[in-house]
Every structure is written in C-alpha cells, then in structure tokens.
C-alpha cells in the first residue's frame, strides 16, 4: 500500500472534517496524543477538545471549504497558507478567512498542529463582532 503524502493527508482532513462534517475522520487522522495550538484560549488541545471546536464552528457556518494557497514541506512538517470559505448558518451570507498552519504528519496522521487564523475577521462577517474590531482595538477602543 502506498503511503499518503502530507498534502493528501491535509486535503483529506479538510474535505472530510470540514466539508463533509465527518467527525469519524477526527479519530482516524488525529492520534489520541495529538496536540494543536491556536484554536482557542487553551495553549494546546487534543482530539477531544478539537471536537468541541469543530462543533462550535460548524454551528456557525456550513459548506466549509479549505483551499491550500501555498504549502512547503520539510521533513515531517507541512506548512500551509489557506483560505477558509463557508456560508453563515444564520444569514446564508458567504464568509471567508485566511490562516496558516504547521502540521507534523507521520504515517498518515496529524500528530501536532500550530494554527493561526483570522478569527476576528470571521466573527465580524458572522455578525458576532462589530465591523472594524481589529482597528478599534488597535486604537485602544474598548468594545462595548
């Protein structure tokens, strides 16, 4: 059997977990000891905590697609610049955000992930934060 490339593992993750909303893929692609950062207030989350993040985000948006705009592989690591698109469940409005990920992939499994996504922009588009939140915070304005 041929080993999947790192990009194939990543593309399968995006397709199954996000577009198809297949939660079984979480247990198939992540290992129990997998740790991810950048997906909430906790410094590192494992598969169980990721399920909560996944359910929360899919509660806000559907038809989620993730496109790899740029990627670089080195050793066990895959670095990606991605565009996430979807549809707001509340308004049916299209939304998008940019993000970067560094994934450590061994034997077809994601064993470590570091994520940096523009969630402020996404939450603005979803109507959960006021427009210009980033700019207002940068100017020292306290959000009411």
- As a three-state string, the secondary structure of 3-44 is CCCHHHHHHHHHHHHHHCCCCHHHHHHEEEEEEEECCCCCCC
Main-chain phi, psi angles of 58, to 5 degrees:
-70, -20
d(CA 7, CA 92): 30
CB 76 within 8 A of CB 91: no
pLDDT band with cut points at 50, 70 and 90 for residue 2: confident
CB 81 within 8 A of CB 67: no
b/e per residue, 70-95, with b = 16+ CB within 10 A?
eeeeeeeebebebebebebeeeeeeb
Residue 82 confidence (pLDDT) above 90 = yes
Q: Kindly report the average pLDDT of the chain as a whole number.
A: 95
Residue 1 confidence (pLDDT) above 70 = no
Q: Averaged over 134-142, what is the pLDDT?
A: 95
pLDDT of 96-122, one tens digit each?
999 999 999 999 999 999 999 999 999
pLDDT of 4-45, one tens digit each?
999 999 999 999 999 999 999 999 999 999 999 999 888 888
* C-alpha R_g of the chain: 16
Residue 48 confidence (pLDDT) above 70 = yes
């Amino acid at each position: 059997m041929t080993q999947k490339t790192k990009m194939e593992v990543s593309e399968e993750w995006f397709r199954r977990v996000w577009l198809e909303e297949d939660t079984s893929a979480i247990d198939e692609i992540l290992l129990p000891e997998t740790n991810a950062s950048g997906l909430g207030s906790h410094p590192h989350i494992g598969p169980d905590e990721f399920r909560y993040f996944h359910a929360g985000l899919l509660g806000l948006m559907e038809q989620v697609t993730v496109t790899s705009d740029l990627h670089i592989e080195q050793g066990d690591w895959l670095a990606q610049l991605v565009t996430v698109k979807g549809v707001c469940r509340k308004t049916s409005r299209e939304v998008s955000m940019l993000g970067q990920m560094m994934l450590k992939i061994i034997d077809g499994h994601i064993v470590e992930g570091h994520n940096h996504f523009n969630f402020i922009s996404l939450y603005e588009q979803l109507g959960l934060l006021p427009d210009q939140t980033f700019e207002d915070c940068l100017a020292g304005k306290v959000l009411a």
